[in-house]
Structure 1
């Protein structure tokens, strides 16, 4: 495709006032203005003919096959001119303009444009993207254009690449923090080692010694063996941990550029990794208007990949969350006491009241922990000093929302549920700490 540059348009337009002046001063030579336009048209055509052909351009693209949601990554576009399959540096333009068309899973979508300078006939463009949503992201067309020697004509080429990048749940936090958290807790005997003296699972009988808790004495066995024996306990290692992920409308709203559900999935996978390392059994449960994801219960660190695949299938929805149906269905699937970790957000009093009623039935048999992310933007609106009248109304609304949120949290705690509210950047590590604390207290 060939079309004029801005320089050629301006130069051609300058012929109009010149033709006007000639027509006024020398009416017999008015046609000289038309000659200028013809000359410019010929120069534009000459510039396009002498520019490097679009057929000689070879475009390559290097991209990752998959990335984690919220993680930045680089796509490298490499341009070079060939002749007979070999690099050709003759007549290579000094600068090439490149544009990439991307969908809305990468940044805000649209196109990325940049100027690429060629060195020894080769140009490289490194474009940094951030995956905002899980799924299959697409880099579609690549446009490349350059000018001829005179800079009067653009020569443009468009290629369709259709490069797919699979955006998965971000497990970078697991690689960075998972092993550290596991080893930290193993050092004090909470996860990797048997924690004798704490827990509910009987381990062995031992001779009673000074300093031991007298309540651990087994009087029947002591009488049978004619010596004072005490029971040793250890932390139970096969607890059932269920991660219930709300993917409804409020959880799909972004917080700091990434949907809440993606941040919740990362925190759930981090905790699941530590729990599997600890010998506990884990499963995932996803819901919105109705339950749509239920993974089998798995055990062992090798099963973590299956949880990751199930988490990748939790889709974004615009439906309101149906807590009654979801938590009732989940309660029917659990056949033993479990720790149910619910990732959700308290949006309005009506849905919160329905959630409280459904939670009451779940608490009869199971330990329930609600995890929610603190909204820094809402807190800022509520506490920042107003600068104009609209800021006052925003602050009042933000205060009302925060008050309703605090009421729901207080009701959940009075019912016996545990609540973890933390900033989105700390939700994963704080959840692991809360999980370890519940194990230490033998509440599961």
Structure 2
């Protein structure tokens, strides 16, 4: 089941006796998740079979157990209750929300990606991989003209290119304490996981290889090597579904040194983190070292509550102090990001709810511009 998405659980009951039963039914679902419509009040006639269903909305990722269903029968005079347990225990895995991946696939097939916020544009003549020869069109670059083909065909012919395939996309996922921040019902970490899944799907469709590594956690270190496969989304789902942020601070410098040992070919490296106002000199130096051999995108998640507080009306002295502190915080944060941009590091300063579309659009722009 996907995180944060309501799913249906079905229960089937059959009365094999010759007696009518009236009872209450409760399914012992994992208490970490949100459930409505319990308990059920059920009446079963002899030989009758019914199906009941209820909605469960997972609130955490990982492995969880459904215990046996419990039935409560009241005595005729209501002096006592009798309880029975039925069914078998079962386990379920809660994965990151892959609903946007499915939605992307449907909208891509119907050429309606704009509904998802994805601006997919083909730029004629862009890219480095030759696609085809075609007749010259208005807007084509003069450098794209194939003069030999034009002389042979007796009309102006252009070479059309497409974005290069077989490139490498690699995620560096911060699992430190800052990623535990909540926006809505999901943490920044869960928003990041969902966006990473969507971009993995898009990049795999583009013919690129994808991999990832975590930093900021010792107990749950994960490394998925770069691999070109249409099953990359499943590989990420099964490899990361039970990964959670730690209470440690992320050590980006050590992670970069580890990455440089295993990633030899030029790649698009995407760092996913929650950056506050202070500039981290070690982080900047690490990214500059990566920039020498790779194209680096630094994604800084921004708490949405900051925008709400910035737009709030100031009516008292306490509000003025809050506004002043917030303004100072945002200026320092902006300065830190500008410092990265000055070192040719692409930055995305984005609210968690907008991360999936912003990240995919950034990737597509890089592919179209042949920057990688």
Q: How does 1:125-164 map to 2 (within 5 A)?
A: 126-140=53-67, 142-157=69-84, 161-164=88-91
2:266 is equivalent to residue 266 of structure 1: no
Q: Matches of residues 276-315 of structure 1 in structure 2 within 5 Å?
A: 276-289=204-217, 292-312=221-241, 314-315=243-244
Counterpart of 2:17 in structure 1 is 87
Deviations 1:336-385 (A, max 9, x none): 221111211113526x3432221111112211112244422232234323
Displacement after TM superposition at 1:79 (Å): 5.2
Unmatched tracts of structure 2, length 5 or more? 114-118
Q: Does 1:250 align with 2:178?
A: yes
1:409 Cα deviation after fit: 2.2
Instruction: Indicate whether 1:408 and 2:336 are aligned.
Output: yes
Task: After TM superposition, give the deviation of residue 274 of structure 1 in Å.
Answer: 1.5
TM-score (ref. length: structure 2): 0.79
Residue in 1 that maps onto 2:9 = 75
* The structure with more helix, counted as a fraction of residues: 1
CA distance in 2, matches of 1:185, 1:340: 28
Correspondence for 1:316: 245
The one of 175, 178, 190 equivalent to 2:102 is 175
TM-fit CA distance, 1:324: 0.8
Cα pair 2:277 2:330 within 8 Å, conserved: no
SS, match of residue 170 in structure 2: strand
In structure 2, the CA distance between the partners of 1:149 and 1:206, relative to structure 1 (3 Å rule), is closer
1:102 aligned to which of 30, 47, 54: 30
- Secondary structure of the corresponding residue to residue 358 of structure 1: helix
Report the counterpart of residue 200 of structure 1 in structure 2: 128
CA distance in 2, matches of 1:99, 1:386: 49
Cα 1:178/1:416, change in 2 over 3 Å: farther
1:199-241 CA-to-partner distances (Å, cap 9, x unmatched) read 234678999999864556899x99xx9xx99876543112211
Q: Secondary structure at the match of 2:282?
A: helix
Q: Looking at CA atoms only, which structure, 1 or 2, has the larger radius of gyration?
A: 1
The corresponding residue for 1:21 is: none
Give the distance between the partners of 2:19 and 2:54, measured in 1 at CA.
24
Task: Specify the SS of the correspondent of 1:127.
Answer: strand
Distance 1:206 1:364, change over 3 A: same
Q: Is the 1:235–1:442 contact (alpha carbons within 8 Å) kept by the matching residues of 2?
A: yes
For the residue of structure 2 that corresponds to 1:349, the secondary structure is coil
Following TM superposition, by how much is the alpha carbon of 1:390 offset from its aligned partner in structure 2, in angstroms? 6.3
RMSD of aligned residue pairs (Cα, Å)? 4.0
1:443 and 1:436 mapped to 2: Cα distance?
A: 11
TM norm structure 1: 0.68
Counterpart of 1:39? none
State the shift of 1:148 in Å.
1.6
How many equivalent residue pairs?
360
User: With CA pairs under 8 Å and 6+ residues apart, which has the higher RCO, 1 or 2?
Assistant: 2
Deviations 1:223-264 (A, max 9, x none): xx9xx9987654311221112221221213332112222221
Query: How far apart, in 2, do the equivalents of 1:152 and 1:208 lie?
Result: 90
**SS where residue 225 of structure 2 aligns?**
coil
Moved more, 199-208 or 307-316: 199-208
Q: Does 1:436 align with 2:364?
A: yes
Q: Which runs of 5+ in 1 are unaligned?
A: 1-66
User: Of 338, 346, 366, which residue of structure 1 is paired with 2:294?
Assistant: 366
Q: In the alignment, is the contact (CA less than 8 A) between 1:273 and 1:304 conserved in 2?
A: yes
Query: 2:274 aligned to 339, 345, 366, which one?
Result: 345
Q: Cα distance 1:405–1:138, how it changes in 2: closer, same or farther (>3 A)?
A: farther
1:393-430 deviation per Cα after TM superposition (whole angstroms, max 9, x unaligned): 65555444433332322222222212223343332222
Q: CA deviation at 1:123?
A: 7.2
